Amino acid sequence: MSSQALSQNKERFELNLGPQHPATHGVLRVKLLMDGEYVVDAEPVLGYIHRMHELMGENRTWAQYLPNMGRLDYLSALSYNLGYVELVEKMAGIEVPERAEYIRVITTEMNRISSHLLWFGAFVLDLGGFTPLLYAFDDREQILDLLEAVTGSRLTYCYFRFGGCYNDVEDDFLSGCLAFIKRLRARMPMYHNLVTKNVILRQRLEGVGPISAEMCRKYGATGPVLRGSGINYDVRKNEPYSVYPELDFDVPVYHEGDSMARYMVRMDEMDQCMRIIEQAIAKIPEGPVRAEKVPKMIKPEPGDYYHAVEAARGTFGIRAVSDGKNQAYRMKLRSPTFSNLSLYQEASKGMLLADALALMGSLDLVIPEIDR
Amino acid sequence: MNKANVIQELRALASEGMPDEPEVAAVVEQASPEGEEGAAPKKAAPPAPRKNGVLEVDYAGKGVHVDAQVKADQVVRAAQILDEAGMTLEAITGVDWINDKELEVVYDYSYTGGECFRVVVRARIPRDQANIPTISEVFPGANWHERETFDFFGIHFEGHPQLEYLLLPEDCDFHPLLKDFKGC
């Protein structure tokens, strides 16, 4: 590819971005073919943090595989916990107590806010603004403290169990969530004044890196990338699971398809997460948090099963094939940013390198989840 | 999107060249065809490969609406049918049915334009001749999914523009999700 291109145009040169580069947020390498400051071709090179999670799924019992879920997308680990336990509950026919469902929703949405806050800080950092990162991490720290109290960990959560949650939440946690929402609500206008309305940011993002709805469809992009391209698709709404149908929230959709639209989708999503948490806390019933009859040895009926949830970055799907044993015959993990990144090569063609990095930031990549 | 049309088109595709199949909607629990299955029968044997056909399955229990088994040379046309219906490709993967000496390639499609609709298309290929046409011309997103499936199963996607290792190191000589993979 490169030698041919070089012979056609001597101005072109190859540039290696990563795998150790702050803008790639992990160990992602991008092989760039440049014409001056313009990107001719950008080929992502994956696999630097590949751990073969899918093979691990085949040599662990269903329960032993649970901790792996926190190590895919470590920034929104609870969504992955939720997807996996719901799949196994679907396979084994386990009923979940209602209180546990509400706890799952509250903690998952708190986790989604913390993930978006981290993305917000890191994304603005990519664009050269250091200060917002410090504010975002200050807020995110509050969530980590709250979730640490119930889940026992700050990052790679493994909190949900088949048929419920590991333990009940205390009133301190619920009131802490409400206090946090009050705090974040008060700080959102500051974020918008400081960052969203910032003329430098707007000029870096508006009209930059357009991704059409059709391109999203052809590449299977989901989540905020898809919703920033004008498609109203959210698994929580379109394919409801847990108690989301009982909660009233909107799906933010922006039609511009540029980096700014994806930025706005995530900022608005944080507001919606807060709405969901408030309603869930108001509605949470008393009761047990673990189903009574959960078999110690789970042996689902042979066959294959699929379950999808809305993770912070898009549709996380699991396809599990059971042969009736207490281990999966095959465990396929469909991670959202894998598909979201796959459109990068096409979407970044002809962009300035600095804009291409803004585009990459707006995709919100988490490399351990891409490489699995 | 007209779901009934999609199901009908897939059904027409799957029944091509299968004149003896009277009704494809029934779950076919077929015995091993040629009796050349080498492995001893086990207590909890996986279900025998079913004949080509399109099933409407229980969404609440399985997570998909339509399960279409087609022949290997029909996967591109299946992709075209679903592309024209406005569906998106969610994932491609494989399953190693080592007792049947077959590999299964599984395509997950979903619909993001409105009401939830999930279709899974599957095709089986012999283990010692693991070739199947690429659908990356229909869905460019299939490019990486097929490369990943090549990594893990060694399945050759014919016509793929760049069938190289994606997640595994470029110099590796094994396919870890094959059931006879012993570790390295």
For residue A19, is the peptide bond before it cis, meaning its omega torsion is within 30 degrees of 0? yes
**Which of A153, A79, A91 has the alpha carbon at shortest distance from A309?**
A79
A58 contacts in chain B (CB < 8 Å):
177
Binary contact (A90, B61; C-beta < 8 A): yes
Evaluate the CA torsion angle A345, A351, A357, A361 in order and state its sign.
Answer: negative
**B37 has a chain A CB within 8 A of its CB:** no
Separation CA A45–CA A173 (nearest Å): 42
**Which of A356, A326, A365, A331 has the alpha carbon at shortest distance from A92?**
A326
Q: How far is CA A210 from CA A205, A214, A255, A359, in A?
A: 10, 11, 10, 9
The per-residue pLDDT for B27 is: 47
Binary contact (A50, B168; C-beta < 8 A): yes
The per-residue pLDDT for A9 is: 59
Give the residue on A whose Cα is nearest the Cα of B167. A47
A108 within 8 A of A96, measured Cβ to Cβ: no
**A346 has a chain B CB within 8 A of its CB:** yes
Binary contact (A218, B106; C-beta < 8 A): no
Give the residue on A whose Cα is nearest the Cα of B182. A55
B110 contacts in chain A (CB < 8 Å):
308, 315
**B63 has a chain A CB within 8 A of its CB:** yes
The tens place of each residue's pLDDT in chain A, 372 residues long, gives: 444 444 455 678 888 887 877 777 778 889 999 888 888 899 999 888 898 898 888 888 888 899 998 888 888 899 999 999 999 988 888 888 999 999 999 999 999 999 999 999 999 988 888 888 999 999 999 999 999 989 888 888 989 988 888 888 888 899 999 999 999 999 999 999 989 998 988 988 888 888 999 999 999 899 999 999 999 999 988 888 888 998 989 999 999 889 999 999 999 999 999 999 999 999 899 888 888 887 888 888 888 889 999 999 999 999 999 888 888 899 999 999 999 999 998 888 888 888 888 898 888 888 888 888
The per-residue pLDDT for A169 is: 87
**B113 has a chain A CB within 8 A of its CB:** yes
User: Mutate which of B42, B89, B90 to disrupt the A interface (most A C-beta within 10 Å)?
Assistant: B90
Residues in chain B: 184
The per-residue pLDDT for A10 is: 65
**B19 has a chain A CB within 8 A of its CB:** no
Block means of pLDDT (10 residues each) for chain B, 184 residues, are 78 68 45 42 48 74 84 87 89 89 90 86 88 90 91 89 88 86 74
Edge-to-edge strands, sheet with A328-334: A303-311, A314-322, A328-334
Give the number of other Cβ atoms within 10 Å of residue A4's Cβ. Answer: 7
Separation CA A191–CA A188 (nearest Å): 5
Place of tokens 């490019």: B143
The per-residue pLDDT for B184 is: 57
Cross-strand pairs, A332: A319
Separation CA B106–CA B68 (nearest Å): 10
pTM of the predicted structure, to 2 decimals: 0.85
A/B interface, count of CB pairs below 8 Å: 116
Q: Which amino acid is at A370?
A: I
Partner residue opposite B44 with nearest CB, options A46, A325, A330: A325
**A222 has a chain B CB within 8 A of its CB:** yes
Partner residue opposite B176 with nearest CB, options A52, A238, A346: A52
Alpha helix stretches (DSSP H) within chain A: 2-8, 53-58, 77-92, 98-126, 131-151, 171-191, 199-205, 213-219, 224-227, 235-238, 259-283, 336-342, 344-347, 353-362, 367-371
B140 contacts in chain A (CB < 8 Å):
218-219, 342-343, 346
B27 contacts in chain A (CB < 8 Å):
none
Place of tokens 């699929």: A306
The per-residue pLDDT for B52 is: 60
